[in-house]
Amino acid sequence: MTPRTITQSLHDLQSGALTATALLDEVEAAADRWDSSLGVYLYRSGQAAWAEAEQVDARRERGEALGPLAGIPLGIKDVIATYGAPTTAQSLIARDPKVDAPTVARLRAAGAVVTGKTSTMEYALGFNDPDKPFPMPRNPWDSLRWTGGSSSGTGSGIAAGFFLGGLGTDTAGSVRMPAAWCGVTGHKPTYGVVPRTGVFPLGWTYDHVGPLARTAEDCALLLSVIAGPDGQDPAATGHGFAYSPEPVRPLRGLRIALAVDPLEVSTAEVCRLTREAAEVFAAAEAVVTEIRLPHYAEGVDVTMLGLAAEALTFDDIDLVLSPTASRPAPLVDGLDFDEVVAMLQTAYWNATGNPALSVPMGLADGMPVGLQIVGRPHADQLVLDAGRHFQDLTDHHLRRPDLTEDER
């Protein structure tokens, strides 16, 4: 069965082929069946979600105007404040603010159905502590493997069909990493495009709030709802984001650079898939070249990264491609922080603030891996358009894990 996307589901909801309550019943049934094994949810909204879905159906039946996400079930990472649901940052000492963060409030105003809070790790850093009463997120493609973090439950839940999209946060790759390893799509917007008010901070200079969903188009729609200043986050800019039903810019003539540095530390399969992905763009008449990124090996040096951000505003490249991670998801048992950090090809772009998207690019050793597409600051539209074109030309994003009783 082809997995549901947000945009297709909205079409079905608007045409009457689907109701919000029927859609919620479908995703809740998947969660009922598999969440005990996958550890997606910290908290499920239950009756509150049903009330939201029923209200959408009633308003639609009365012919009332509805928001752009009316009836779409979404999961919210546990570091993002959500009214009516605990926000713990998966810590025993965190103070629950008991309000909606602006991003969550905007999703509700758009008609989204919040199905619950999704698992992460304590304050979105490190790994899950088995001695604490929080779920251990596991990968729906192989429950012996990790989802990636720290937006773990959101990435896993989309892949497993528990909801159609959701929010994560990304300080060094925490949206893109679970997106890549769970076979879905995740976008880290340009720094400041989405307000971080109501989010437990990890690294204030690098923290981003971003959407995860099945497709780049779905992420674009979610970004259009959550983007824009809120008057509280001093880093939030005046740049909103407008969703378009079609990509704004064609691939023909687009100048794309394949980053060599990440390939040199990636497995042979990930290298092959990344080069094949670059060939998809080249076949669509984009101009693809290879580059080395400024000071990539010294990526922890903030000064050098600041210079790199400015260097990446030269006029001869529109986008940069790389693998999101150098290898597929590791096993849960024996996770090593330094080894996982070494796998990531994401953190560089948190320090520069550039928009970066991870889209599925195929399977390596039977597990999903992601292609990272990076643009200039505030070129979120172009980055998401490139992801949409890639997904128009490939079907990697439509693959889903085989959740069978035997495997769980």
Q: Over the stretch 328-386, which tens digit does the pLDDT of each residue have?
A: 999 999 999 999 989 999 998 998 899 999 999 999 999 999 999 999 999 999 999 99
Q: What is the pLDDT along the chain (408 residues), one digit of tens a residue?
A: 799 999 999 999 999 999 999 999 999 999 999 999 999 999 999 999 999 999 999 999 999 999 999 999 999 999 999 999 999 999 999 889 999 999 999 999 999 999 999 999 999 998 888 889 999 999 999 999 999 999 999 999 999 999 999 999 999 999 999 999 999 999 999 999 999 999 999 988 899 999 999 999 999 999 999 999 999 999 998 889 999 999 999 999 999 999 999 999 999 999 999 999 999 999 999 999 999 987 776 654 443 455 455 555 586 899 999 999 999 999 999 999 999 989 999 998 998 899 999 999 999 999 999 999 999 999 999 999 999 999 999 999 999 999 975 444
The residue whose two tokens read 């570091």 is 79
In 72-144, which ranges are E strands?
73-77, 113-118
Return the structure tokens found at 280.
């998809």
Among positive and negative, which fits the CA dihedral 214, 153, 183, 33? Answer: negative
Domain with CATH 3.90.1300.10 in the chain: 13-226, 255-398
**Architecture of the structural domain at 13-226:** Alpha-Beta Complex (3.90)
pTM of the model: 0.96
Catalytic site residue 77? yes
Burial 347-370 (b: 16+ CB within 10 A, else e): bbbbbbbbbbbbbbbbbbeebbbb
* The residue to which tokens 């076949």 are assigned: 283
Point out the catalytic residue in the list 119, 150, 156, 326.
150
- Which among 246, 249, 283, 296 has a CA at the least distance from the CA of 393? 283
Catalytic residue among 9, 45, 156, 174: 174
Is 150 marked active-site? yes
What is 255-398's CATH number? 3.90.1300.10
